[in-house]
Amino acid sequence: MVNECMSGTPVTVIRGVGPHKAGLLKEAGIETMADLYDFFPRRYLDRRTVKPIVTLVEGEQATVVGKVRSLVKQAGRYRKVRLKVELFDETGVLEIVWFSGVHFFFNSFRQGDSLCVSGKVGYFGRRPQMQHPEFERLDLESGESPYNGIVPVYPSSESLKRSGLGSRGMRGLLKQAFSDIPPRFSENLSEGIIRQHNLLPLNEAYRMIHFPSSPEMLDRALYRFKWAELFFAQLFFALRRASIRTDRSAVPFRHSGNFTAALYDMLPYNMTDAQKNAVREIYRDLRSGVRMNRLLQGDVGSGKTLVAMFAMTLAADNGMQSVFMAPTEILAFQHSMVVRKFAEPLGLNVGFLAGRQLKKERQGVLDDLQTGHLDILVGTHAVIEEAVRFDKLGLAVIDEQHRFGVMQRKALQDKAENPHVLLMTATPIPRTLSMGVFGDLDVTIIDQLPRGRKNIVTRCCKERDKSEVFDFLSREITRGRQAYIVYPLVEESEKMDLKAAKESFHKLRDTLQGVRMGLIHGQMSSREKEQVMRSFSSGKLDLLVGTTVIEVGVDVPNATVMVIEHAERFGLAQLHQLRGRVGRGKHRSYCFLVHTKLGSDASQRLSAMENIGDGFRLSEIDAALRGMGNVLGKEQSGMVSGLKIADIVKDYDIMRSARDAAFEIIDCDPQLREHGNEIIKEYYIKHYHGKHALANIG
């Protein structure tokens, strides 16, 4: 949130801020008065709720005020030094431990210093302990009482702390700034929005976020800044969506003809209600004349490829070609097999393009595509190369779209004047992230699995118990089933004690004698991978050993066992995707998460996997554990990657309100020309339009 107050005025106008201090502030990104006012606290200490030491409970987050009784440096394991500080109040003693920054803290504290510390309480023997707590040094003689209310804690580096610009120093600096130069902030929201959503005026919000007078006023200030930040992020999406919907140059697919009808008649099973609804929504888009821009979400095994197939047959019924792009050769090859299974009996021609093909084979596909002989092209990012030219491209399907960059997706769309776009993902996206990252897309969710699909039995087991897992795997293979074993690396790493697929493959031959085994990993050529996959899919192999290249796309209904080695090294999304390779047939399936030493986060992940089968619930847990950026990656961060104060995972309700307001305004006034909206337009153009030119506004 950038304000307009003194945006170019240097911080040196504040008394006591000279060149040296200004240089230190610059390290923290603070050069102007606007930067300083927008340097928001990262959290707050409520000193009215300070707890006596004797009342501390293990595992709770607590704030304690006391005096330093002693400081002791102690040698720990591997010659590492730790600092133990005893803090006491009238009820007891709290031990504080630092394992890093020991010398700095040792020289910073003195016996008798008053500290306010906040952190998670543990117990060492019978004594309560905090490790690396947040702390504030208190000057009780100057009148700074530990019970004087809500105290902001600002981000700080060690260099700033050493120079007196730690959290306490920043509080003093801001107090001086507000005193020396009482700021007046220019509003960035209209009076109508402020009144309708009961938002604090900007001037009051800035004062309350830095100097809260009460918890209630702090909450209102935080709400104002979060709401406004999310409003402008959603305004970007609203403008993008309005731009797409006013462009009616896309070819409408008016006719459902022989291909579509024949596809429905040939299905060997009934589609789920969720699949039927997805097809209806996609058909409505394709027939409208407005370019489709839809995201199709569905858990592993929910039948997204079939839904895409109906979209592609509708394109064929209207004389248009389709392209289906997938991120890996294995996934693209799997999709080509499924698409061919449905398309070729209908008389539709399907081509395949990947990075490493024979020149003659590749040229044949390119020629057939350009002449219109091919109805559907399936491939990797090879389909966006300059040499690839379509006769009449009408539909682009992009699977696992989060693995492609923005420019790669755009390059595919540029293969025709204005093709319809269907994005697909088998990685369930939490509703918070979906709204915050894909806010300009229409979203369809397939939230049902095919009828008769059984839950996959998931079990965590320690490395030492793995022999029992292999015994079970052998019994399943003896019964005619197939299995997977997945490793996190291809070759042994000197830095990480992980088994690798290549080495373990040879050892498994001795352990699982008589089992027909195949190895697959990312370093193999496309032809080698295709050969292994064909052998496994046709039942010529009992066991497929590999890396995460089998994470998505591998569909073998007879496979009933998935063993994931070093499961603690995988994220929740990957684990869920790997588990989804089994449970696709009529037989009960099993997933074993083999682990070594578990940390706290890994333990939570594996416990969630063991107890939850719903990918969308797992995605919410994953987002809470790892944060938005890590769940979706840099390419998908979009507008929300620059959020300064809002959190799209935690602030869903605020985002919902801000989104509704943004879309309502653009629906009524797409160019923001009406009275009251000029303020919003001016702020958006100044702070967002240059970064996100795709959301044009006149």
Query: For the chain, percent helix, then strand, then coil, each to nearest 5?
Result: 45, 20, 35
Stretch 520-540: mean pLDDT: 84
Max Cα-Cα span within the chain: 88
b vs e for 607-641, b when ≥16 Cβ sit within 10 Å of the residue's Cβ? Answer: ebbeebbebeebbbbbbebbebeebbeeebbbbbe
Query: In whole angstroms, what separates CA 536 from the centre of its chain?
Result: 33
Task: Determine how β-strand 590-595 pairs with β-strand 457-462.
Answer: parallel
What whole-number distance in Å separates Cα of residue 650 and Cα of residue 430?
Answer: 11
> CB-hemisphere CA count at 13 Å for 686?
12
Q: How confident is the model at residue 121 (pLDDT cuts 50, 70, 90)?
A: very high
Q: Is the pLDDT of residue 691 over 60?
A: no
Q: pLDDT tens digits for 139-171?
A: 655 545 544 578 888 887 766 666 678 787 888
d(CA 609, CA 592): 10
Confidence tier at 248 by pLDDT (50, 70, 90)? low
Beta bridge partners of 152: 44
Per DSSP, helices labelled H in 512-627 are: 526-537, 572-579, 600-611, 615-626
Question: 559-564 and 590-595: which strand pairing?
Answer: parallel
Supply the pLDDT for residue 396: 93
Element (H, E) at 117: strand 114-120
Residue 88: the pLDDT is: 95
Q: Distance between terminal CA atoms of the chain?
A: 23
Q: According to the model, what pLDDT value does residue 405 have? A: 61
**Least confident piece of the model among 67-71, 220-224, 417-421:** 417-421
Could you please report the per-residue DSSP string of 233-260?
HHHHHHHHHHHHHH---SPP-----HHH
Tell me the one-letter amino acid at 339.
V
Alpha helices in 100-257 (DSSP H): 102-108, 158-162, 167-180, 191-196, 202-210, 215-246
Least confident of 138-147, 237-246, 255-264, 575-584: 138-147
> How many CB atoms lie under 10 A from the CB of residue 460?
18
Across 113-134, average pLDDT:
88
Residue 200 CA to residue 194 CA, distance in Å, equals 7
Is the pLDDT higher at 633 or at 137? 137
Reported as a pLDDT band with limits 50, 70 and 90, residue 623 is confident
Higher pLDDT, 206 or 247: 206
Comparing 215-229, 234-248, 346-360, 588-602, the range with the smallest average pLDDT is 234-248
* Nearest of 156, 166, 170, 158 to residue 210 by alpha carbon: 170
Say if CB 399 and CB 326 are below 8 A apart.
Answer: yes
In angstroms, the CA 537 to CA 519 distance is 13
**Residue written as token pair 């693995």:** 403
Helix axes 526-537, 329-343, angle to 10 degrees: 50
Give dist(CA 422, CA 399) in Å, integer. Answer: 8
64 neighbors 116 (Cβ within 8 angstroms) = yes
Domains of the chain, earliest start first: 43-153 (2.40.50.140), 258-446 (3.40.50.300), 457-612 (3.40.50.300)
* The pair of three-digit structure tokens given for residue 60, joined into one six-digit string: 């709770």
For residue 155, with 0-12 CB atoms within 10 Å meaning exposed, 13-18 middle and 19 or more buried, which class applies? middle
Which percentage of the chain shows pLDDT scores above 70?
Answer: 87
Q: Ranked by mean pLDDT, which of 421-430, 431-440, 640-649 comes out on top?
A: 421-430
- Show the tokens assigned to 411: 């390059």
Give bridge partners of residue 458 from the DSSP assignment.
Answer: 591
Q: Confidence band (pLDDT; 50, 70, 90) for 495?
A: very low
Which two three-digit tokens encode residue 549? Answer: 């290249």
Give per-residue pLDDT as tens, 280-295: 999 999 988 888 989 9
Q: What's the mean pLDDT when you consider all of the chain?
A: 85
Q: Give the phi and the psi of residue 627 in degrees, each rounded to 5.
A: 90, 160
User: Residue 74 — φ and ψ, nearest 5°?
Assistant: -130, 145
457 to 191, 562, 581: CA distances (angstroms): 56, 10, 13
- Please determine, for residue 685, whether its predicted confidence score (pLDDT) is greater than 60: yes
Structure tokens at 415: 């293969």
- Checking if the pLDDT of 497 tops 70, the result is no
pLDDT attached to residue 257: 80
Most confident of 208-217, 289-298, 396-405, 689-698: 208-217
The Cβ of residue 514 has, within 10 Å, a number of other Cβ atoms equal to: 9
175, two tokens: 């107090």
* Residue 465 per-residue DSSP state: G
* Under 8 Å between Cβ of 260 and 310: yes
Residue 117 pairs in a beta bridge with 64, 135
- Residue by residue, DSSP assigns 538-586 as TTS-SEEEE-GGGSSS---TTEEEEEETTGGGS-HHHHHHHHTTSS-SS
Q: What's the rounded mean pLDDT across residues 605-621?
A: 87
- For residue 559, list its beta bridge partners: 482
pLDDT for 263 equals 95
The predicted structure's pLDDT at residue 546: 87
Residue 443's closest CA among 603, 656, 297?
297
For residue 628, what pLDDT band results from cuts at 50, 70 and 90? Answer: low
Q: How far apart are CA 96 and CA 83, in angstroms?
A: 8
Say which range, 50-64, 166-180, 236-250, 473-487, has the weakest mean pLDDT: 236-250
If you ran DSSP here, which 8-state letter would residue 13 be given?
A: G
pLDDT band at 480 (very low <50, low <70, confident <90, very high): very high
